[in-house]
Structure 1
């Protein structure tokens, strides 16, 4: 169930779902057919009737459960949680979600186990990070919030900050990398800067230096596969340990990229959420 307090006079339920929350037509149809919206006394509400500020709307419906096989094989670090959203930290070497049927060693298998232990049957990630990257992943705890967070990702309203340690001394203390990224026909998983690729924009700021390495904070304006890895390597400063993009091999076979912070305005409460991975 989801509870929402109306924030402005005159807004109808139709307008709330379609215009303000921008939910998909299929989900809106399901809510309508299941008569999912009631007031705080449990009375059904008319969707075209203007609501008053302060009115409490309850959304209760039979939602499809998530299909991940629950597993507790991966330790779960929770950076933030409320009734609607879960933000967890993915370890290096773990995939965000299964890529084949029966797979149960991913972050979302662990998230599913955690949520089911608390009585939730739904949990879906709204973005992912590379298997070799550690850090924060945002999970929606019901389909309505999932639709809202999906829109926020598309409109760049969820800011994710990464920390990378790169080889060498970067010349500029800050900058923006605008370089399209496409597939590399010589390698099945590698990406490369290519004029025929997809637009990719990364903003970066140097936050630390020593003789051999530079520590950088990076924010994605677009979300291409391996974007930060490709862009920093394109500048001549691959991420430490990222031998796929030209860095020296690491003894641990890992690379130094951490999605350490995420911030956004909560789609339900309107509060600013700032979560950091302190591991």
Structure 2
């Protein structure tokens, strides 16, 4: 059996300072050393030392007796190739990116190489750590902020939490939205938490509608859920729509983020062109 094609989870306690993480994991799993090293680079290997657990990326890191090394190996996850985000602005303490469809906002225990934060860590110059501030669905595209210090991560997170960041989106939905109020404000809880969205019609073409969206809260899948509840699912939404996407990406773009910059001390606005993909015929 080719172990490199099997999902594998392993937890090994280090018994000697001469033992490397790759040695320990290879002995435990039988996986090729190169596959383990690749998994380590891609964020699928973790080290527990005392009460602290964090990703282990360096094969040469010295281990202590009693350390525990963890491997979460899923070849499907590890073989995925990350789509490339586009840098919109580098402020030093944080950066703004145009995240493409398919790129994740954050990783999991199975890896983080297909995340915008890891991309930022590996490609920005000078190199620096990256921290998640907010999330944008993997299936969506558009603007996302990445912090590069813990202090900035806390400051930006507070702005989102206190609703001091203006967030706007463009979506294409199934159906004619023209009979709806202009704008249509929805205050429907998501997962029992307050969720507020405001939808304004931009145009109707061939039975589908393009909407401008402003949200005051940032609940998971908030826009998609609110529109599905209204009977206007976002085109390409496999989860809340018809269950079929007809091969189309989710037609949801985060095109504007505006807030008082913690670095500059003045209002900044990051905006993408709002020429979203052409409305597909129904």
How big is each residue's C-alpha offset from its partner over 1:144-176, in whole Å with a ceiling of 9 and x where there is no partner? Answer: 221211111111111111110011111223121
- 1:200 Cα deviation after fit: 1.1
Q: Under a length normalisation based on structure 2, what TM-score does the superposition of the two structures give?
A: 0.64
Which consecutive residues of structure 1, in runs of 5 or more, have no partner in the other structure?
1-65, 183-196
Cα root mean square deviation, aligned: 2.5
**211, 220, 227: which one aligns with 1:216:** 211
Structure 1: which 4+ aligned runs deviate by more than 6 Å? 68-72
| Residue in structure 2 matched with residue 192 of structure 1 by the alignment | none
The 1:153–1:261 alpha-carbon spacing in structure 2 relative to 1, beyond 3 Å, is same
Q: Give the distance between the partners of 2:56 and 2:219, measured in 1 at CA.
A: 25
Q: Within 5 A, what are the aligned runs for 1:1-279?
A: 73-115=82-124, 118-170=125-177, 171-172=179-180, 173-182=182-191, 197-247=192-242, 249-278=244-273
CA distance in 2: counterparts of 1:214 and 1:68, whole angstroms: 47
**1:253, CA displacement in angstroms?**
4.6
User: Between Structure 1 and Structure 2, how many residues are aligned?
Assistant: 198
Moved more, 238-247 or 214-223: 238-247
Aligned residues of 1:72 and 1:113 also touching (Cα < 8 A):
no
SS at 2:245's partner residue? coil
Closer, same or farther in 2 for the Cα pair 1:235/1:73, shift >3 Å?
closer
- Partners of 1:78 and 1:180 in 2: how far apart? 34
Change (3 A) 1:68 1:225: farther
Assess, with a 3 A threshold, how the Cα gap between structure 1 residues 67 and 153 changes in structure 2: closer, same or farther.
Answer: farther
> Per-residue deviation at 1:74?
3.3
For the residue of structure 1 that corresponds to 2:239, the secondary structure is helix
Q: Is the 8 A contact 1:168 1:214 kept in 2?
A: yes
TM-score by length of 1: 0.65
**Closer, same or farther: CA 100–79 of 1 in aligned 2, 3 Å:** same
Structure 2 regions of 5+ residues with no counterpart?
Answer: 1-53, 59-79, 277-282
Question: CA offsets, 1:81-103, max 9 Å, x none?
Answer: 22222000111122111112434
